[in-house]
Structure 1
Amino acid sequence: MSAASDIALEGVLTLEKRLRGVGLDWGTGIGHLALACAQSDKVDKVYGFDINQENIECAKVNAVCNGLSHKTQFIAADSYSPLDPKYNNLFSTLKLDFIVSNPPASDLETSDGFDFRRRVLQGARGLVRKNG
Structure 2
Amino acid sequence: MRAGVTLGDGSTPAAAPPTRAQALDALRERLTQAGVASPEAEAEWLLLHALGIGRGAYWSEPSAPLRAEEEAALEAFAVRREGREPLQLILGEVPFHDASLTVEPGVFLPRPETEVLVEAVLAARLPERGSLLDWGTGTGAIAIALLKALPGWTAVAADRSGPALDLALRNAARNGVQDRIQALRADFSSPAPPRVPGTPFDVVVSNPPYVRRRDIPELMPEVRDHDPPEALDGGEDGLDALRHLAQGLAIWLAPGGFLALEIGAEQADSVLGLYRASIQDARVLPDRAGLPRIVIGTMRGQRS
Shorter-chain TM-score above 0.5: yes
Pairing partner for 1:101 from 195, 206, 210? 206
Superposed CA deviations along residues 10-40 of structure 1, whole A, max 9, x for unmatched, are 433444x526411100111110110122120
Pairing partner for 1:24 from 133, 147, 168? 133
Pairing partner for 1:120 from 245, 254, 268? 245
State the distance in 1 between where 2:169 and 2:198 align.
23
Match of 1:85 in 2: none
Whether the 8 Å contact between 2:138 and 2:165 is mirrored in structure 1 is yes
Q: Sort the Cα spacing of 1:99 and 1:6 in 2 relative to 1 into closer, same or farther, 3 A.
A: same
Runs of 4+ deviating beyond 6 Å? none
Q: Sort the Cα spacing of 1:75 and 1:23 in 2 relative to 1 into closer, same or farther, 3 A.
A: same
State the distance in 1 between where 2:197 and 2:184 align.
14
User: Which amino acid in 2 is paired with 1:41?
Assistant: P
- Could you tell me which runs of 5 or more consecutive residues in structure 1 were left unpaired when the two chains were aligned: 82-87
2:255 equivalent to 1:130: yes
Pairing partner for 2:142 from 10, 15, 33? 33
Identical-pair percentage:
30
Match of 2:160 in 1: 51
Whether the 8 Å contact between 1:4 and 1:102 is mirrored in structure 2 is no
State the distance in 2 between where 1:70 and 1:58 align.
15
Pairing partner for 1:72 from 167, 181, 184? 181
User: Which amino acid in 1 is paired with 2:180?
Assistant: K
Whether the 8 Å contact between 1:80 and 1:123 is mirrored in structure 2 is no
Match of 2:117 in 1: 8
State the distance in 2 between where 1:100 and 1:62 align.
18
Higher relative contact order (CA 8 A, sep 6+): 1
1:106 positional shift: 4.2
Secondary structure of 1:97 counterpart: strand
* Count of residues in correspondence between the two structures: 123
TM-score by length of 1: 0.77
Whether the 8 Å contact between 2:211 and 2:238 is mirrored in structure 1 is yes
User: Which amino acid in 1 is paired with 2:133?
Assistant: L
Q: Sort the Cα spacing of 1:80 and 1:73 in 2 relative to 1 into closer, same or farther, 3 A.
A: farther
State the distance in 2 between where 1:96 and 1:80 align.
19
2:236 equivalent to 1:111: yes
User: Which amino acid in 2 is paired with 1:18?
Assistant: L
Superposed CA deviations along residues 38-82 of structure 1, whole A, max 9, x for unmatched, are 120342x1001111111100100011111101110111111176x
State the distance in 2 between where 1:117 and 1:7 align.
18
Secondary structure of 1:70 counterpart: helix
Secondary structure of 2:134 counterpart: strand
